[in-house]
């Protein structure tokens, strides 16, 4: 029996994953967590075979959680399930050590397949994302990196979170509350984002972030 841990800040989502997973005779949900800090403690205690992780958890995000847990438990398998755009976040998740990425809109259809593939030692990405990664790899081999994506790729995981929330119209205080950080830290992230994207003013940053959010798939 393979033991699965679920990390998501929405109890209804955790319940849905549990129902799908435990409908399989050889899979069980051994534990759950609603935050990254809680997940750290429970994973250390229960040592699951595989952990399903959301990205937006408040405070420490799911990608940072994966990095921290794999530093302690390198054999832990992790699968990200999120609403965040996979063309931006799946590569970051894989680089952090995740073995797959599932969009929440596809959970009913793909979660069991994704879990089983990861447990067998493989990786799970959508066909669209697999094709995109292979295409980027070919461009890198030919010395033609994708300039459009490389600009956003300059941002750290936390900076990308802040950039996205700015584009969704959230204030500095709202962002601080959502990420469990101080407004001063948000301001520091904003400054680094402007520098990396060559934006001179806060208005330019807001316009760029809003446009990026609107143009996401």
pLDDT digits (tens, 9 = 90+) for 25-55: 999 999 999 999 999 999 999 999 999 999 9
**Average pLDDT of the chain to the nearest whole number:** 86
Distances (CA, A) of 74 to 32, 71, 110: 20, 6, 25
pLDDT at 148: 44
pLDDT confidence band for 87 (50 / 70 / 90): confident
The strand pairing partners of 101, in sequence order, are 80
Distance of alpha carbon 71 from alpha carbon 10, whole angstroms: 26
Domains of the chain by start residue, with CATH: 2-131 (3.40.50.2300), 147-215 (1.10.10.10)
Distance of alpha carbon 210 from alpha carbon 217, whole angstroms: 14
Q: Give the full edge-to-edge strand order of the sheet including 77-82.
A: 27-33, 2-7, 50-53, 77-82, 101-103
Give residue-wise pLDDT tens across range 137-168.
555 445 554 544 567 878 888 898 899 888 88
Distance of alpha carbon 108 from alpha carbon 131, whole angstroms: 23
In this prediction the pTM is 0.70
- 3-state secondary structure (DSSP) of residue 85: coil
The set of residues, in sequence order, having a beta carbon less than 8 Å from that of 138 and lying 6+ positions away, is none
For the chain, give the percent of residues with pLDDT over 70.
Answer: 88
């Amino acid at each position: 029996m393979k033991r699965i841990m679920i990390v998501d800040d929405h109890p209804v989502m955790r319940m849905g994953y549990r129902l799908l997973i435990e409908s399989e005779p050889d899979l069980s949900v051994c534990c759950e967590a609603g935050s990254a800090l809680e997940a750290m403690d429970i994973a250390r205690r229960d040592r699951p075979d595989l952990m399903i992780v959301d990205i937006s958890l408040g405070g420490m995000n799911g990608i940072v959680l994966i990095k921290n847990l794999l530093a302690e438990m390198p054999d832990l398998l992790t699968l990200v399930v999120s609403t965040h755009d996979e063309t931006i976040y799946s590569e970051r998740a894989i680089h952090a050590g995740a073995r797959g990425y599932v969009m929440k809109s596809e959970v009913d259809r793909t979660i069991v397949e994704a879990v089983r593939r990861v447990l067998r030692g493989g990786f799970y990405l959508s066909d669209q994302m697999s094709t995109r990664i292979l295409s980027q790899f070919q461009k890198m081999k030919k010395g033609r990196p994708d300039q459009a994506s490389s600009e956003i790729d300059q941002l750290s995981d936390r900076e990308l979170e802040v950039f996205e929330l700015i584009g969704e119209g959230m204030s500095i205080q709202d962002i601080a509350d959502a990420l469990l950080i101080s407004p001063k830290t948000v301001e520091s992230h904003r400054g680094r984002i402007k520098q990396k994207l060559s934006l001179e003013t806060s208005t330019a940053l807001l316009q760029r972030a809003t446009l990026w959010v609107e143009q996401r798939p």
